[in-house]
Amino acid sequence: MDIKPMPLPLELVLNVITCSLPKYPNVLLSPSHPITQTLLSFTLVCHETRRVANRALLKHCAYFATEYSIRSFLLQIPGRPDLRKLQNLFLAPFVNIDDQPMAHWVRELFQYTSASLKRLIIDIPLRNLYPEDDHLDVRRILREGFLSLENLEEFVSVRDELFLDTIQHSDEPAVWKKWSALKRLALYNVDADEAFWSDIARMPQLQTLVLTRADGLRECNIKNCYSKFSKGRAMKVLLINVATDQVGFSQLLRNGWDYADPEKKMTIMTYNIPSLYADEGPIEVCQDFVRAGAENGTLWGWDGEIIQHPPKFAPRARARLLD
């Protein structure tokens, strides 16, 4: 007697899809990841599995690291309005940074999704674009695209500080200053001078700032600069570096911290990245580590060693120190 296989109930199949999703809600997966491949397979099973799988693909798998991936997505948008509702995106599509057609596609992608996009990770060497040469048009196109991201809440730039100045040696405002809804910001090798901290203090929603291999930390009194314009808003600052290059508490200007931040609403921490391979340079180690943390959704939860306020001395103790 032939036994015909029984089809699985649809509810069970949909449960399989749900159980295959990443544990954390902010994970972004590459096209080659097994979960991405599984979701793509479920888009071919039936209408209902395609609906659920497509929703999960939009949430976890918008990972554009090739020309083909970004072009194919843009070509689908006219026939699929749901693609305009993209909320999470990883972007690293440039092979040659002076690729003007790619810059146009990136701008078009941002303009299509600007109303919905909340979280963006970029791995783009924008510092290789120089405002005084033929790269100027590419820089202008990209700047226009990034400025359209009015609802962005999380942003990570793996390779620089989102360097998109179009005028050499100008005071052109940083693009991220225009994102009034921004809550979490991660930048690489920013010049953390007094002007930078005053800009950060004026960001109305910003809660967490991650700075990897930042410059100027030893020359600027961070809390004093921040408190002038922050109106007492709490802020978590994570300073990431390899241990040999990390700024120490004794190297930071901490005079006046008790006055500038008496309730210690601004928390400054150092986070040392382990160097797993001796032949890797500190730049590559830091960039790869931060990129991995951003993709797997753990970056904003990292904590390090808190930089404490300088100790207070009683009058007699102070006198003994001066003797």
Lowest mean pLDDT among 226-235, 254-263, 314-323: 314-323
Mean pLDDT of 219-242: 95
Res 5: pLDDT: 56
Q: Does residue 131 or residue 106 have the better pLDDT? A: 106
Reported as a single tens digit per residue, the pLDDT across 164-213 is: 887 766 678 899 999 999 999 999 999 999 999 999 999 999 999 999 99
Q: What is the DSSP code string of 128-157? A: G--TTSTTHHHHHHHHHHHHT-TT--EEEE
Query: Do the beta carbons of residue 54 and residue 82 sit within 8 Å?
Result: yes
Query: Do the beta carbons of residue 284 and residue 247 sit within 8 Å?
Result: no
- Return the percentage of the chain with pLDDT > 90, whole number: 63
Say whether pLDDT at 71 is over 80: yes
Mean pLDDT of 252-258: 94
Say whether pLDDT at 318 is over 90: no
The pair phi, psi for residue 53, each rounded to 5°, is: -65, -40
Quote the CA–CA distance of 48 and 304 in Å, as a whole number: 45
Res 321: pLDDT: 47
Q: What residue type is 279 in one-letter code? A: D
Q: Domain 63-165+173-311: state its class.
A: alpha beta
Give Cβ neighbours of residue 125 (< 8 Å, ≥ 6 apart): 94, 97, 159, 160
Map out the domains of the chain as residue ranges.
7-61, 63-165+173-311
- Res. 47 pLDDT band, cuts 50 70 90: confident
Tell me the pLDDT of the chain averaged across its residues.
87
Say whether pLDDT at 315 is over 60: no
Q: Give 198's DSSP letter.
A: H
Rg (C-alpha) for the chain, rounded Å, is 23
